[in-house]
Amino acid sequence: MSALAPYVFNGLTLGLLFALIALGFMLIVGVMEVINLAHGSLFALGAYLALTIIDADVLRATVFGVWWLEQPLEARYILGLTLAPVLAGLAGMVIELCLRPTYGKPALYGLLLTFGAALVVEELIRLTWGTGEKTLPVPQELGGAVLIGGLIFSKYKIFAAGFAALVIIAVWLFLERTLYGAVIKAGAHDSEMVRALGFNLARLRLMVFGLGAGLAGLAGVILVPIWGLRPHVGVDVVIPAFLIIVMGGVGSFWGAVWAALLVGLAVGISGAYAPAWAMLSMHLLLIAVVGYRARGLLGRKSILEN
Q: Between 58 and 119, name the residue whose CB sits nearer to other proteins.
A: 119
Report phi then psi at 250, rounded to 5.
-70, 130
Q: How far is CA 71 from the centre of its chain?
A: 28
Residue 107 within binding range of other proteins, rule CB under 8 A: yes
Binding other proteins (rule: CB under 8 A), the pick from 60, 177, 232, 293 is 232
* In the complex, minimum distance from the CB of residue 287 to other proteins, in angstroms, rounded to a whole number: 5
For 208-240, give the DSSP string.
HHHHHHHHHHHHHHHHHHHH-B-GGGGGGTHHH
Binding other proteins (rule: CB under 8 A), the pick from 184, 238, 257, 259 is 238
Contact (Cβ atoms closer than 8 angstroms) between residue 57 and residue 63? no
Binding mask 256-295 for other proteins (x = CB under 8 A): --------------------xx-xx--xx-xx--xx--x-
Q: What Rg do the C-alpha atoms of the chain give, in angstroms?
A: 19
Contact (Cβ atoms closer than 8 angstroms) between residue 204 and residue 183? yes
Could you say which residues in the range 136-155 bind other proteins, by CB under 8 A?
Answer: none
Q: How far is CA 59 from the centre of its chain?
A: 28
Contact (Cβ atoms closer than 8 angstroms) between residue 17 and residue 160? yes
Q: How far is CA 156 from the centre of its chain?
A: 18
Q: Between 177 and 232, name the residue whose CB sits nearer to other proteins.
A: 232
Residue 218 within binding range of other proteins, rule CB under 8 A: no
* In the complex, minimum distance from the CB of residue 78 to other proteins, in angstroms, rounded to a whole number: 32
Contact (Cβ atoms closer than 8 angstroms) between residue 156 and residue 163? no
Q: How far apart are CA 231 and CA 134, in angstroms?
A: 9
Binding other proteins (rule: CB under 8 A), the pick from 25, 242, 253, 258 is 242
Task: Specify the stretch interacting with other proteins by CB under 8 A; choose among 63-71, 100-108, 150-158, 252-260.
Answer: 100-108
Residue 202 within binding range of other proteins, rule CB under 8 A: no
Q: Between 183 and 238, name the residue whose CB sits nearer to other proteins.
A: 238
Binding other proteins (rule: CB under 8 A), the pick from 73, 81, 235, 298 is 235
Nearest one of 18, 27, 41 to 171, comparing CA atoms: 27
Residues that bind other proteins (CB under 8 A): 35, 98, 101-102, 107-109, 111-113, 115-120, 122-124, 127, 232, 235-236, 238-239, 242, 246, 276-277, 279-280, 283-284, 286-287, 290-291, 294, 300-301, 304-306
